[in-house]
Amino acid sequence: MSYSQGFPETSVNNKDVVHKKKIKKEKLVPYLFILPSFLIILGFLFYPIGTVFYYSLQNYDVSAPYYNSFAGLDNFIKIFTADEMFIPSLINSLKWVVSEVGLQLVFGMILALLLNQTFKFRGLARAAAFIPWAISGVLASVMWSMMFNEHMGVINDMLMKLGIINEPMAFLASTSTAFGAVVIAELWRGIPFFAITLLASLQSIPNELYEAARVDGASRWKSFIYVTLPQLKNTIILTTLLRVVWEFNNVDLLFNLTGGGPAHSTTTLTMYIADLAVHGSNFGYGSALTVVSFGILLIFAILYLRLSRYEKE
């Protein structure tokens, strides 16, 4: 009796085991699908980042391999105590980021508000406004270097015809005008980023809010302050954060237009890192500077999101 009674229990147990194995296999299927993407991210993102952190602790100079050795924290100590270019380049980076992100946000908001209106050929105007964003940094650099050219540049020609200047100026070769010139060039390329994102958010704002504001007697300016801006808050916070990171790491336009000159007036921290690593072949010290810039951006991002209360009422 005991044997006949135990046999069904064994069968039930086997079914439970098979069922559990089937559930485990089904749970593994989604992970198998994302495994290729994970391996690609691991190989092209996390491995390079890990390599940068590794070389930041090394004396690694391609031009002098006999000096290569473990440096520990010596590279970081040198950055904060003996590097005369670190603070000036960091100040240039801060000036660059504040001026670029601030101006791009203001002009991008104005452009988005204009493109959100109903008028003839609005689609064509939107397409034309977004063209600078589609142009590569190298092509934009060549275009603006020709426009700023002292001998044949259209900017000099326009300013002379308007009577603002009396003779052609080498905008990119003067310490007083080089920084402003590259700010204008990058501003032209960066405005569409804010215009695109802000325009998308503007179109999601319910018309009932503006109708209620008009009923309450609110002017256009008050509707913008009390209706539009609160609705765009999260978009503005996210886009400005993304743009700060982008502009802080921006090197293509600066490198092609001025190369960090004249007299290091446009040498940002990223330009300084590129010059050390690419031209100087000092990858160990350049990696340490990269880690420092990464830490600066990480701290800024955390504080910015906390202070701005992103996605919180």
Element (H, E) at 259: none
- The pLDDT assigned to 23 comes to 72
Q: Which two tokens stand for residue 157?
A: 């020609």
- pTM, two decimals, is 0.83
Q: Which two tokens stand for residue 255?
A: 């490198």
Q: What are phi and psi of 163, to 5 degrees?
A: 80, 15
Q: How far apart are CA 88 and CA 94, in angstroms?
A: 10
- The pLDDT assigned to 93 comes to 94
> In sequence order, what are the residues at sequence separation of 6 or more whose Cβ sits closer than 8 angstroms to the Cβ of residue 103?
183, 187
DSSP, collapsed to helix, strand or coil, labels residue 215 as helix
Q: How far apart are CA 269 and CA 185, in angstroms?
A: 19
- Is residue 100 within 8 Å of residue 154, measured between CB atoms? no
- The pLDDT assigned to 44 comes to 84
Distance from the Cα of residue 103 to its chain's centroid:
15
Q: Which residues of the chain are under the pLDDT cut of 70? A: 1-22, 310-313
pLDDT (tens digit per residue) in 133-175: 888 888 888 899 999 988 888 998 898 988 888 888 888 888 8
Q: How far apart are CA 194 and CA 28, in angstroms?
A: 41
> In sequence order, what are the residues at sequence separation of 6 or more whose Cβ sits closer than 8 angstroms to the Cβ of residue 18?
none
Q: Which two tokens stand for residue 98?
A: 């504040």
Burial of 273 (0-12, 13-18, 19+ CB in 10 A): buried
Neighbouring-strand partners of residue 282: 61
Cα-Cα-Cα-Cα dihedral sign, residues 142, 146, 149, 151: positive
Domain ranges of the chain: 84-308
- Is residue 157 within 8 Å of residue 220, measured between CB atoms? no
DSSP, collapsed to helix, strand or coil, labels residue 59 as strand
Element (H, E) at 58: strand 58-59
Q: How far apart are CA 232 and CA 203, in angstroms?
A: 11
Topology (CATH level 3) of domain 84-308: MetI-like fold (1.10.3720)
> Quick one: which of 145, 159, 163 has its CA closest to 258?
145
